[in-house]
Amino acid sequence: MNTRFIEAFMWVARLGSFRAAADHLHITQAAMSNRIASLEQEIGARVFEREARDLRLTPVGLRLLSYGERMLELQREIMVLGRSDQQLLGLVRIGAIETVVHTWLVDFLRHLSSTYPGIEVQITSETTEGLHNSLRAGAIDIALQTDTAVGEGIASMPCLPMAMGWVGPPGEAQPGEGLLAGLLQHPTITMSRGSQPHVALKELYRKAGLPVGKVHCVSSIAAIVRLVKGGFGNALMPLAPVREQVERGELRLLACDVPLPPQRVVVSYHDHGVSEAIRFVAELACRESDQFVRSLPAPYSGA
């Protein structure tokens, strides 16, 4: 089976449209359609339901997602078996937001160091805005964050999103819990100003017709957890990083009658005149992120 067909399928599934996937792979939309049609002919079933304003995976397409990830991973590993040159050697500087640090980053780094020992990794943690500035300034090679980075020679790969939600201290239900207006009456802790959770919180105040109340913007997830446990407010944040605390009963998921947008995850990297190692590590990071999100149970997965 032609792995180009699998690659095309995976990008259409990830980006949600033939046009976006074609733009990412630098091919025409007609060529993208041909690749998907060839794939469907080879496996004998449709992988997408094509409706006027919607593109959905068929049951076969949903099953193909995991197979596709494995096939592309195997292809990548096969392609580097005989490489002993400088392409997969050297320093790769990675910057990551707190959400990534507290979820899949450690497992990713362990896998990278054990499988590709010639790649040395240097890690920093900043906000998305800070990572974009560092990437454009050349201070880092790869940014694991929430928005497409803009700059000359910078490429971005969207990954599967994670769910955002409300968490509070353990104990009995609070007055007004379950209703947005009730939740917004309490002090709220969220991520740093300008972050996706912070922007989502401001939009919730707008939808509720309320002035922005008492909001604490904290960049550290560990600090947010301590503040919520200490009774300083409820938190609006990505849920996956605090899954263990919720399951241990240290925090409690709070219901809300207004749905929240998921937390996006984007891998951005220098894609012009760089070593093969940087591009390779960026692609591995995106796949690691997707695999992590697919492994999450409801309500932590935003995919």
Measured CA distances, 198 to 12, 171, 236 (Å): 30, 25, 8
CATH number of 86-159+264-295: 3.40.190.10
**Boundaries of CATH 3.40.190.10 in the chain?**
86-159+264-295, 164-254
The domain made up of 164-254 is a member of CATH 3.30.420.10: no
Alpha carbon distance 215, 253 (integer Å): 19
Q: CA 92 to CA 282: how far, in whole Å?
A: 10
Find out whether 295 and 240 touch, Cβ atoms under 8 Å: no
Q: Is the distance from CB of 9 to CB of 71 less than 8 angstroms?
A: no
- Residue tagged 């100003």 (tokens): 193
DSSP run (H or E) holding 66: helix 59-79
C-alpha 196/C-alpha 193 separation (Å) is 9
Two structure tokens written together for 73: 């991973």
What totals of helices (H) and strands (E) does the chain contain, helices first? 12, 12
pLDDT by residue (tens digit) across 144-203?
A: 999 988 888 898 989 999 999 999 999 877 766 788 998 998 999 999 999 999 999 999
Specify the 3-state DSSP secondary structure of 188: strand
Q: pTM of the full predicted structure? A: 0.74
Residue 95: name the closest of 156, 143, 154 by CA: 143
> Do 6 and 71 form a contact (C-beta atoms < 8 A)?
yes
Sequential pLDDT tens for the chain (303 residues): 788 899 899 888 888 888 888 887 888 888 899 999 999 999 999 999 887 667 888 999 888 988 888 887 777 667 655 554 445 678 899 999 999 999 999 999 998 888 888 889 999 999 999 999 999 999 999 999 999 888 888 989 899 999 999 999 998 777 667 889 989 989 999 999 999 999 999 999 999 999 988 999 999 999 999 999 999 999 999 999 999 999 999 999 999 999 999 999 999 998 876 677 888 899 899 989 998 998 899 898 875
Angle at 131 between CA 130 and CA 135, to 5 degrees: 120
List the CATH code of the domain at 3-79.
1.10.10.10
CATH code 1.10.10.10 region(s) in the chain: 3-79
